[in-house]
Structure 1
Amino acid sequence: MAEALWYNEPAKAWSMGLPIGNGRIGAVVLSEIDKETWSFNEISFWSGRSEPSPKAYGGKAAIKEIQARYLGGDFTGGKLLAEQYLQPPKKNYGTNLTVAKINLAFDQSSAAISNFRRELSLDEAVASAQYMVGDHNYRRETLVSNCHQILVSQISTDSSQGISLTLSISSENSDFTVASMGNALEFQAHALESAHSDGKCGVRGRGIVKITAPGGSIQVNNEKLMVKDAKSILVFLTFNTDFRQANNNWMSLALAQLKHAQSYTYEQLKTDHMNDHQSLYRRVSINLGSNERAALPTNERQSRFKEAGFDDPSLFALYFQYGRYLTISGTRANSPLPLHLQGLWNDGEASKMNWSCDYHLDINTQMNYFPTEMANLSECHAPLIDYIETLAQDGKTTAKQFYGSPGWVAHVFSNVWGFTDPGWEVSWGLNVTGGLWIASHMIEHFEYTQDKTFLSEIAFPILKKSAEFYLDYMTVEPISRCLVTGPSVSPENSFFTGDAKDGEQQLSLGPTIDTILIRDLFKFLIKAGSQLNTDAGFCSRLKDALTKLPPFKIGKKGQLQEWLEDCEESQPDHRHLSHTIALCRSDQITPRHSPALAESIRVTLANRQARADLEDIEFTAALFGLNFARLNEGDSALEHVGHLIGELCFENLLSYSKAGVAGAESSIFVIDGNFGGAAVVGEMLLRSSDSEIDLLPALPLKWPSGFVRGLRARGNLEFDIKWEDGNLTLVTLKAFSPGRVTLYYKNYQVHLSFYSLEVIWLSNSLELLSKA
């Protein structure tokens, strides 16, 4: 495996640094000749604190009153009441913060320097930098071990003069101290900031940096570690926080982790780390073809990408594997929390503004996990599943206090403190299906794994409680007699009612996104209840309610309606495309079974693309790509992923949101584009639903020959696919659960039944070649 990001120029800014991580602690490595900086982060290092929901905030009576206003067409009155009853004040919500910067300053020779190269090996999960001074080699390697819970760096040379360096620690946190501890530095950090909390509350953490340098000398001076004339230097970094800790035992973890790591050689630590990482990473291999651009440094390939018409197929493959690498590095089965807005890393920008580096539940957190199951990394879903369980528990209070309803609910975003209330502005804060949207990943996890224990013990009870909320909360629209949600938003868009006095509105009854999510929820629970032979009465209620949900509607412009009525968008260039998940994240709309509705989404996409002032950001590009992949338009999907890679990613290929969008003064790192882009590449090659699988459904002309091995499909299936000259040549299906499926390729289809652990080989026309 040779997948790597590499550069022949130093990293002078965070956006050029290389991300490493173990699912809990992460760093972005900025390598220059005479210095190196590790921007260091920890997933639970949050400001803020837990805040209780208001004990009385309207409840059922207020909701009925608000719904009555909207049912009567009184949008202005309904919004005023919503602001009164569903707009709690912002308290100590908090944000994830960068912990510190570890600064390495090298006493570098002034002799001629050559052959500089820095690299992130996706297969080894090691960030490195190497160069020559005269005839001598210098090399740095940095990794973050999951099995040993420590960051380790080896710095070495073959020069007899060795290496001299000074290590110091700095932080933007106001409550941050560094003290010497033998040949080590201890640092204590308190996550404080005043943009999202009162500046007085947050997580505390303790870390240790230790250096060993056989053959060299080490001194400690003014809270700095100074090494002289060492041919090989090891730097160890450990850090832990008091998040969810009942006592102070966490304070001793850093020293224990350090002592444990030092009982191993660097070679042993690296081998353990690589074996652990590769046990996940090497499950999938991909080859989309190659050309001469593959030999260029990553930043040069990226800068030439658009000009070359995105004709660099191996860069798409690299981006797909980079998404898998970031998943493995950012969210592991033992991670205490899932990926946030910036994954596991943090450039500090979102933390300083109204965004917050948190859990956005109206696309961002979901997109972080779009490729997880498909990319054969199912275990990496565990932190999100655990987080959903927490949301479901905390959301019970919100359901009761704000809505007077049973079950649970969460809204537009959340934090590590159990925030599930509406946001503090109804215009965006009343995304009443945000919690359900993130909980739909439980449905996806089951569909891919077929884990009946997970279904019965975790997914079904939590999703049932979500359904209980919506059954109680929804109201009947008197003209259509449909069950509708509301007041709710279609994230984070707005519309005109047609009545000039109403002006721009955000809240309504029955936005399409709500109906999509609730329909999928009810359908899944009905099927799961039958499989588990449980809750027959409740499932009967769901069946009745399912028939009363509003149907999809096509608007006067030929678009899929985003709201219950054919409202005019007040911002037709908006970045959110929430209602299109009926196609790109659900099987409610498909070209095969509902071509007219699929065409309405094509029109929706065309209308957005036609806007010169489209809010062109990372997750929007990924959503365009996902939708075109589901429309079987591979060349269009490729254009959008290419645009994402070439124009919406920094030099380190981490995606960003452009300056000017949602109040951002500069381009802000947001990692969901990396995962969304990886999901698009996967969907172009393999698409699955509960009962149907499409092979190479959106293969673009620029990937005429290639293969992919190890992609997963719903039904607990794994596929190896090979193609040449734009045509399928061989398919291998590995079944890990018994079942049946209809397989499609172009005009061919075959109905397959299989046993657990059965392997099936199929030809280019889906004819059975053999079974084992």
Structure 2
Amino acid sequence: MASDRGLYYKTPSTNFSTSLPLGNGRLAASVMSSPDRESLLLNEVTFWSGAPHTAGSGLISRPADPKAELRTTQRCLLDGNFNQAKARVQKYLESKKRNFGTNLGVGRLDIVVHGREDVSEFERELNLNEALTETRYKKGGHDFRRRCFVSHPHQVLVVNFVTSDPDGLELAVCMQGEGDAFTSWVQDGRLHFVTQALENVHSDGTCGVKGHGIIAAVVEDGKIEERDGKLIISGQGGITILLAFNTNYHESESEWKNKTSIHIDHASKLSMSNLLAAHLADYQLLYQKASLTLGSGSEETASLPTDERRRNLQASKYTGDPGMFALYFHFARYLTIAGTRADSPLPLHLQGLWNDGEACRMGWSCDYHLDINTQMNYFHVLPMGITEAMQPMVAYLTSSPRRAKVLHVHVTDPGWEMTYGLNVTGGLWMASHLIEIYEYTLDDQFLRDTAYPLLKGAAEFFLDYMIEDLTTGWLLTAPSISPENSFLVDIPGKHREEHCIHLSPTLDIVLLRDLFNFCLYASKVLETDTTFAEKIKATTVKLPTFQVGKHGQLQEWLQDFDEAQPYHRHLSHTMALCRSAQVSVRHTPDLAQAIKVSLERRQDCSDLEDIEFTAALFGLNYARLDDGEKALSEIGHLVSDLSFDNLLSYSKPGVAGAEENIFVVDGNFGGAAAIMEMLVRSSMPILEGPVEVDLLPALPKTWTQGRARGFRLRGGLEIDLEWSQGVLTKASFRAMSSGTIAVYYGGHCFKSGYQVSDIIELGSELVVCR
């Protein structure tokens, strides 16, 4: 298999870390293949434990006048009374966990293959271009092949078996649930099961959504029998197993069960070739939008199993196989399309659409972590051109029952611990994706109908939430945190104390300045809310400026505190560089240097909390600092050292209470975003100004040649890039909106206006080639 087409192995899979992921944006499977069985771990995005509750109902104590209490707590912080502020937050802003819940695995589908044991030439793969797994081997000189995919058009899991053996096949099919609330039975030649998402770590063990599944078989020249609650299927030709599963999430009692029967009945009437053709037509429409080739590559390297290539990349210090970075990029594109679609009922969570079961069993929960993980799931989506994948997240933000929850949850019902629960801008950070959607599309209807109304509401909330520091004149968010990190305070006459609550951490400043500038721009474009815009304009100049500390670092907090955990995994203050245009090498070189110092100081710690999203953030930041070699080292470390053999990224044991390597999908997505940032960067420092595009800004020396197609840029642009011997040879821009552009490469700059459908082709000296 060629290096950019998929994952390939010569050894069986018996656990999650070697399984191959499939999905249709709602239903997912992790495929474990061995000669004697095909086992699939099933997931569904709405299969959650827990129950709804009203925001604020979990507060430990409710003040008589919440606004007055907030101001009292803020004044404590302004006066430096950290312990008083902490006590008030614990009393009035921390909440009980209650029945929050978690996304659980549905169960395990086992298909046992009866027959001889003389297996040879075993191999399995995940074909990224076709979104299917395939397992091949020989028994007794005969060929055996299995193919699995999850169809989005037909909403079923498909597992197909074929063989050249004249004796045919015999399969035993059973389904196991992950908990006690699971029942299965065979009726009319089909295996039915019902289950409920129950657990007692994140809820009380009595509440959760219900699910209903049906497993059916389509047999050519064979029969279906029942034995001990299993389906026993035999056939001379091919055998196709179909599975449909739905839950009662936002469905009536009759509708959700009927859906499962409708899906299975419809799919059962179609041939394997028809099911596959519909699946490919639907999937490839999205997957073939973009491509990337890195390095010339050798046939020998490209044909190696993926686990061997990963180890070889590690041994070469990440320089020996550029094609592995292209594979990681394409795997992230695949995971995005498999994990979320325009009609997905919920957005991507901590593990995308899959689940290794580890986060569910500990304090993390497989849910929406709003202090980097959920945001990073979407860092790559718009540059990849998979704009449809943003829709479930947009729906989650804008649906009325959730809007208050997402934007205000960390104030009205903030969480169970201050270090992450008081992340008051977590919802805003999520909502900032709406700004990016507009920057990439320049869609004024989206601006008018979706982005501006929600973000105006967020601005109104923070205008009311902030307090003025009469000494500096700054308007400050308080109480607030820099997610999960803490600092040391010298108390006069006492020892140093560790605290996490303070005023306007740098992350808040970044998010609020981008929010307010966007609202000003939108008000101007839409010709509305002039009075509100004037208020925003007056507030923006009162936001704190970025502060450089005693070590030359960008401060994480408003004051130059020493970090209590200098090795910490979160890099929230660096969002000013890697996720915003507020800091850049071109426009604010001193601040860019300060962030470089912050990164180096963090990396100098021998006990750095070295996990998947941290490596991705280092890679993104170094790409923005135009340092291709350091960006390569970080993303190479992510691919080689912080990803399983199946290339899914993970968090190490010992970090944030993890006892095992825990799959977290944000590393895959953040890594892909960093790879794109190394090759092309677009920014809009001023929304109404030109789009700034940097070509090959952080190209490593070992990526001597390559080609990128279909990358999206801010300003409604799409680009194709080619380079050879480390030098740009061609850049072709296609315009889907109107605007102006400034392109930078190798000391050259090209500036131009463009209209819809324009094509601009540039050479290495940025001269027009057409």
Q: TM-score range by the shorter chain?
A: over 0.9
Matched, 1:163 2:163: no
Per the alignment, residue 258 of structure 2 pairs with 252
The Cα of 1:534 is off from its aligned counterpart by 1.0
Question: Aligned partners of 1:85, 1:355: CA distance in 2, in Å?
Answer: 23
Corresponding position of 1:49: 51
**Where does residue 667 of structure 1 map in the other structure?**
661
SS in 1 for 2:270: coil
CA apart distance, 1:179: 1.1
- Asked whether the 8 Å contact 2:49–2:199 carries over to 1, the reply is yes
Q: Deviations over 1:20-56 (max 9, x none)?
A: 0000000000000101110000000000010113368
Q: Spell out, residue by residue over 1:73-98, the C-alpha distance to the aligned partner (whole angstroms, 9 max, x if none).
A: 10001100110110011110000000
Partner of 1:552: 546
User: Which residue of structure 1 lines up, in the alignment, with residue 323 of structure 2?
Assistant: 314
Which residue, out of 460, 480, 485, partners 1:468?
460
Match of 1:410 in 2: 409
Q: Distance in 1 between matches of 2:402 and 2:451?
A: 16
Whether 2:733 is the aligned partner of 1:733: answer yes
Distance apart, 1:247 and its partner CA: 4.0
Contact residue 498 and residue 567 of structure 1 kept, 8 A = no
Deviation of the 1:702 alpha carbon? 0.9
Structure-1 residue corresponding to 2:688: none
Which of the residues 155, 175, 178 maps onto 2:184? Answer: 178
**Aligned equivalents of 2:211 and 2:47: distance in 1?**
7
2:501 partner amino acid = L
Conservation of the 8 A alpha-carbon contact between 1:361 and 1:411: no
Residues 206-355 of structure 1 aligned to structure 2 (within 5 Å): 206-289=212-295, 290-291=297-298, 292-310=300-318, 311-355=320-364
Look up the match of 2:450: 458
Q: Is the 8 A contact 1:195 1:353 kept in 2?
A: yes
1:98 pairs with 2:105: yes
Give 4+ residue runs of structure 1 displaced > 2 Å after superposition. 53-58, 228-231, 291-295, 392-398, 498-502
Q: Residues 443-479 of structure 1, C-alpha deviation per residue, up to 9 Å, x if partnerless?
A: 1111111111111011100000000010000001222
Contact kept? 2:216, 2:268, Cα under 8 Å = no
Instruction: Work out whether residues 137 and 157 of structure 1, in 8 Å CA contact, stay in contact via their aligned partners in 2.
Output: yes
Task: Find the partner of 1:138 among 136, 144, 148.
Answer: 144
Q: Distance in 2 between matches of 1:618 and 1:684?
A: 18
Say which is worse superposed, 730-739 or 247-256, in terms of deviation. 247-256
| Offset, 1:304 | 1.8
Aligned to 1:747: 747
CA distance in 1 between counterparts of 2:634 and 2:56 reads 44
Alpha-carbon separation, structure 1, partners of 2:163 and 2:765: 57
User: Are 1:359 and 2:368 an aligned pair?
Assistant: yes
Amino acid in the other structure paired with 1:464:
K
Counterparts of 2:487 and 2:344, CA distance in 1: 40
Asked if 2 retains the 8 angstrom alpha-carbon contact of 1:217 and 1:230, the reply is no
| Counterpart residue number, 1:490 | 482
Moved more, 585-594 or 500-509: 500-509
Give how far 1:305 is off. Answer: 1.4
In the alignment, is the contact (CA less than 8 A) between 1:361 and 1:434 conserved in 2?
A: yes
Q: Aligned partners of 1:396, 1:6: CA distance in 2, in Å?
A: 45
1:440 has 2:403 as partner: no
Instruction: Give 5+ residue unaligned stretches, structure 2.
Output: 685-690
Tell me the distance in 1 between the aligned counterparts of 2:358 and 2:669: 20
| The 10-residue stretch of structure 1 (132-141 or 318-327) with the greater mean CA deviation from structure 2 | 132-141
Which has the larger displacement, 478-487 or 464-473?
A: 478-487
What secondary structure does 1:359 align onto?
coil
Match of 1:11 among 13, 16, 26: 13
Percentage identity across aligned positions?
A: 46
Question: 620, 623, 626: which one pairs with 2:620?
Answer: 626
Correspondent of 1:507 among 483, 501, 504: 501
SS of residue paired to 1:138: strand
Query: Does the 8 Å contact 1:560/1:604 carry over to 2?
Result: yes
Q: Are 2:625 and 1:616 aligned?
A: no
Residue of structure 2 in register with 1:695 after alignment: 695
CA distance in 1, matches of 2:765, 2:403: 50
Does the aligned pair in 2 maintain the 1:164–1:229 contact within 8 Å? yes
C-alpha distance in structure 1 between counterparts of 2:471 and 2:433, whole Å: 34
User: What letter is aligned with 1:551?
Assistant: T
**Residues 300, 285 of structure 1: CA spacing in aligned structure 2 closer, same or farther, 3 A cutoff?**
same
Aligned to 2:576: 582
Aligned pairs for 1:371-382 (under 5 A) are: 371-382=380-391
Matched, 1:37 2:36: no
Shift of residue 211, structure 1, vs aligned partner: 1.0
2:410 is the alignment partner of 1:396: no
How far, CA to CA, are the matches of 2:173 and 2:236 in structure 1?
A: 14
**What do the CA deviations read for 1:662-721 (whole angstroms, capped 9, x no partner)?**
001111010000000000111111111122111111111010111101000001100000
Partner of 1:567: 561
User: RMSD of aligned C-alpha atoms?
Assistant: 1.3
Superposition TM-score, scaled by structure 1 size: 0.96
**Letter aligned with residue 380 of structure 2:** P
| Aligned residue type for 2:473 | R
Q: Distance in 1 between matches of 2:153 and 2:447?
A: 29
2:439–2:716 CA contact under 8 A, matched in 1: yes
Q: Could you tell me how far apart the structure 2 residues matched to 1:373 and 1:77 are?
A: 44
Alpha-carbon deviations, 1:595-638, whole Å to 9, x = none? 01000110011001111100000000000000000000011101
The amino acid across from 2:398 in the alignment is E
Unaligned runs of 5+ in 1: 399-407, 413-419
The Cα shift of 1:263 comes to 2.3
Match of 1:415 in 2: none
Please tell me whether the aligned partners of residues 169 and 235 of structure 2 are also in contact (alpha carbons under 8 angstroms). Answer: yes
Looking at structure 2, the residues matched to 572 and 260 of structure 1 have their Cα atoms a distance apart, in angstroms, of: 57
The alpha-carbon deviation at position 230 of structure 1 amounts to 3.5
Q: Is the 8 A contact 1:75 1:502 kept in 2?
A: no
Question: Which of the numbers 94, 117, 120 marks the counterpart of 1:87?
Answer: 94
The aligned counterpart of 1:723 is 723
Residue of structure 2 aligned with 1:386, choices 379, 386, 395: 395
Contact 2:371–2:420 (8 Å) recurs in 1: no
Aligned AA (1:65)? T
Kindly state the Cα deviation for residue 295 of structure 1 after the two structures are TM-superposed. Answer: 2.2
Alpha-carbon distance between aligned partners in 2 of 1:29 and 1:744, rounded to the nearest angstrom: 45
Q: C-alpha deviations, 1:400-423, integer Å up to 9, x for none?
A: xxxxxxxx52339xxxxxxx7201
Moved more, 51-60 or 262-271: 51-60
Give 1:417-428 correspondences, 5 Å limit: 421-428=413-420
CA distance in 2, matches of 1:205, 1:184: 17
Query: In the TM superposition, what is the alpha-carbon distance from 1:501 to its structure 2 partner?
Result: 4.6
Cα shift readout 1:272-308 (whole Å, capped 9, x = no counterpart): 1111111111111111112443221000011121211
**1:370 equivalent in structure 2:** 379
- Which residue identity is paired with 1:16? T
Deviations 1:192-235 (A, max 9, x none): 00000010000001010001222222111222011234331000
